[in-house]
Amino acid sequence: MISITVIDRDDQPHVLETPTDMGLNLMEVCKSYELPVKGTCGGMALCASCHVYVLSQHELPEATDDEIAMLDQAFFVKTNSRLGCQIKIHDALDGLEVKLAPEAE
């Protein structure tokens, strides 16, 4: 199990405990804790409803072309923007801290 801190859109931190051996991604973990992450496309990098800002210094895999293309069309994108559904949960992400991006209107 690892712990991930997710700061919601009201600046409230939530510490999520998640297993690393179930092939989950960050969007799925947020949904399982009932955080307001829609995950509309089911994790296909096609909706940006799982957009987060990565606040900690964890090394994440490079974004794929699909993720970059989706973030290109998303709102409120910053240099630390990532799609939660493209962040696979694994041991090295223990202590990861992210903030939910604002919802697109």
What is the contact surface with ligand FES in residues (CB under 6 A)?
27, 39-41, 43, 45-50, 70, 83, 85
- What is the closest distance, in whole angstroms, from the C-beta atom of residue 85 to ligand FES in the complex? 3
* For ligand FES, the closer CB: 43 or 97: 43
Nearest residue by C-beta to ligand FES? Answer: 85
* For ligand FES, the closer CB: 1 or 65: 65
Cα–Cα distance, 86 to 7 (Å, whole number): 18
C-beta of residue 97 within 8 angstroms of C-beta of residue 5? yes
Cα–Cα distance, 26 to 105 (Å, whole number): 22
Cα–Cα distance, 26 to 43 (Å, whole number): 10
Tell me the backbone φ, ψ of residue 82, rounded to 5 degrees: -145, 160
* For ligand FES, the closer CB: 1 or 63: 63
C-beta of residue 100 within 8 angstroms of C-beta of residue 14? no
- What is the closest distance, in whole angstroms, from the C-beta atom of residue 68 to ligand FES in the complex? 12
- What is the closest distance, in whole angstroms, from the C-beta atom of residue 100 to ligand FES in the complex? 12
* For ligand FES, the closer CB: 50 or 100: 50
